[in-house]
């Protein structure tokens, strides 16, 4: 009785992926905050198929998001899932990790990811379950392979270069480069369309963005936005936003503006350039203010 089987799986959803380069499959996230309806499937996630095995490039925003990605992988290839990259601590990127425990993969993260998970994941899990319902966020999974500066993994004649970044979007940002196709996975070091959210260092983020710009790239898969973009063009837009935030926050501090009032004046000219601006921009200004007020 297929109909009953389908309803027994209610809450789970099937996802589609786009092959943006040979063997690189991406599911695009929606530009929304987490809701019961979207199941926190709001980040771009995906996988790379190598000659021998598969690497998951962020496991998704909830257990059901991770399970849907896993079903999609099993539809595309039967090769074993050997690596699960966890790009940073934010729940929309890593709460799907529990769906892959059955594959016994190497969970890869920045050297600072374990402490960020220890400090925050339980809080994130509780908030996510308020939205999705009890038991639906997923188990907290810690990385089993830590990257200090650089590392690489091999999927079978397919090398993935890993780079642990200085404090930028967060203090635990890991990017990956699929060397064969020149595809960069900057995760949330690159936002497209959706307004960036600052949870690390504004000055550090500008620095890391510039460093990524020196790589020889064919395309990038941003943490949020289209499944594939031209890195240089997308990074320029991000840089414009971050530099407005930097310069106008500095000006507000110099003018004696209070921290609570700064969001009303800083970088307002960027408002029409980004979705969810009103949801995140004020927090970004507050973060920038705290970083810059003592410089």
Q: Tell me which residues touch Zn ion (CB under 5 A).
A: 90, 188
Closest distance between Zn ion and the C-beta of residue 88, in Å?
6
Sheet hosting strand 159-164, strand order edge to edge: 150-154, 159-164, 174-178, 183-191, 219-224
Closest distance between Zn ion and the C-beta of residue 8, in Å?
33
Closest distance between Zn ion and the C-beta of residue 209, in Å?
14
Closest distance between Zn ion and the C-beta of residue 261, in Å?
27
Closest distance between Zn ion and the C-beta of residue 133, in Å?
23
Complex with Zn ion: residue 99 or 116, whichever CB lies closer:
116
Closest distance between Zn ion and the C-beta of residue 169, in Å?
6
Complex with Zn ion: residue 188 or 248, whichever CB lies closer:
188
CA distances from 270 to 30, 33, 113, 242, 281 (A): 21, 20, 31, 10, 10
Complex with Zn ion: residue 12 or 239, whichever CB lies closer:
239
Complex with Zn ion: residue 67 or 188, whichever CB lies closer:
188
Q: How far is CA 231 from the centre of its chain?
A: 16
Complex with Zn ion: residue 82 or 169, whichever CB lies closer:
169
Complex with Zn ion: residue 58 or 188, whichever CB lies closer:
188
Neighbour count for residue 22 (Cβ, 10 Å): 12
């Amino acid at each position: 009785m297929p109909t009953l089987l389908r309803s027994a799986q209610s809450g789970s959803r099937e996802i589609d992926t786009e092959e943006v380069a040979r063997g690189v499959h991406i599911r695009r996230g929606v530009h929304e905050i987490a809701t019961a309806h979207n199941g926190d499937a709001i980040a771009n996630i995906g996988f790379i198929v190598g000659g021998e095995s598969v690497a998951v490039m962020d496991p998704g925003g909830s257990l059901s998001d991770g399970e849907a990605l896993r079903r999609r992988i099993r539809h595309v290839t039967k090769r074993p899932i050997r690596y699960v990259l966890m790009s940073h601590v934010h729940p929309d990127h890593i709460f799907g990790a529990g769906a892959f425990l059955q594959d016994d993969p190497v969970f890869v993260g920045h050297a600072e990811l374990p402490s960020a998970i220890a400090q925050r994941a339980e809080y994130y899990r509780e908030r996510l379950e308020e939205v999705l319902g009890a038991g639906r966020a997923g188990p907290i999974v810690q990385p089993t392979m830590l990257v200090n500066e650089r590392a690489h993994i091999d999927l079978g004649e397919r090398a993935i270069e890993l780079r642990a970044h200085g404090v930028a979007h967060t203090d635990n940002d890991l990017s990956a480069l699929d060397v064969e196709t020149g595809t960069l996975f900057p995760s949330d070091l690159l936002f497209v369309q959706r307004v960036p959210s600052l949870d690390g260092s504004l000055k550090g983020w500008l620095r890391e963005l510039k460093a990524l710009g020196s790589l020889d790239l064919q395309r990038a898969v941003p943490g949020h936005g289209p499944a594939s973009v031209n890195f240089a063009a997308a990074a320029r837009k991000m840089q414009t936003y971050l530099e407005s935030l930097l310069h106008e926050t500095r000006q507000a501090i110099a003018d004696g503006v209070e921290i609570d009032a700064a969001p009303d004046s800083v970088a307002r000219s960027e408002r029409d350039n980004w979705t969810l601006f009103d949801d995140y921009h004020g927090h970004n200004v507050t973060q920038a203010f705290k970083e810059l007020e003592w410089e």
